[in-house]
Structure 1
Amino acid sequence: MEIEKLFKALSDPTRVRVLLLLSQKKLCVCQLQKILKLPQSKLSKHLGKLRDLNLVVGYQDGKFIKYELSKNYFLENILVLVKESKNLDEQFQVDLSRIDKFDYLIGDVQ
């Protein structure tokens, strides 16, 4: 992975929010869309960029495509630093407060 491409991907707040959410649990596009309050087309573009860099992987789970973080030690360490950032703290807390709210969309009971 080219480091410049990684940091360019991480320079977008929406992609960072997606990565932070996926660091908490596996989510489908419909859940991410509701949590982030984004149109599906915009979210899909962000997920595509993250997939292209092998930062996330998607897999079929019934009729849904769920996403999770790729196994990437470098990314995991970056996300630890990002989680400690004061700039993202407030938005991340809002996103986290909604993370389980949309499990009904895919029938998850956790």
Structure 2
Amino acid sequence: SGNSDERCTPEVAPISEERVIDVAPPSYASRVGVREPLITGVRAIDGLLTCGVGQRMGIFASAGCGKTMLMHMLIEQTEADVFVIGLIGERGREVTEFVDMLRASHTKEKCELVFATADFP
């Protein structure tokens, strides 16, 4: 029912200011430490791979390993103000399926999705 170009139309905000993107990261010492655990509702993560409030997470795995299902579980069960999701290098079909899942989610208003598909970067 439609390809990803039809169903996942990118929205591009106007550029309000220019910034240099090739800069050194902030020093480790200047970063604020994690002080509070983030309860994800996924027992394997909460028990073995505890994440912190404000921490960035990356989910990297080969095709068919359940990345999308894990992200769905995290979005549905974690209490957070906002979810910023980056789908980089995924197939257009998978991005479309993820968008459909987000549209049906009660947390869709708190989600920001950035994607660059493998077939349409």
Task: Output the TM-score relative to the length of structure 2.
Answer: 0.25
Task: Output the TM-score relative to the length of structure 1.
Answer: 0.26
Highest RCO, 1 vs 2 (Cα 8 Å, sep ≥ 6) = 1
Q: Which has the larger radius of gyration?
A: 2
The structure richer in helix per residue is 1
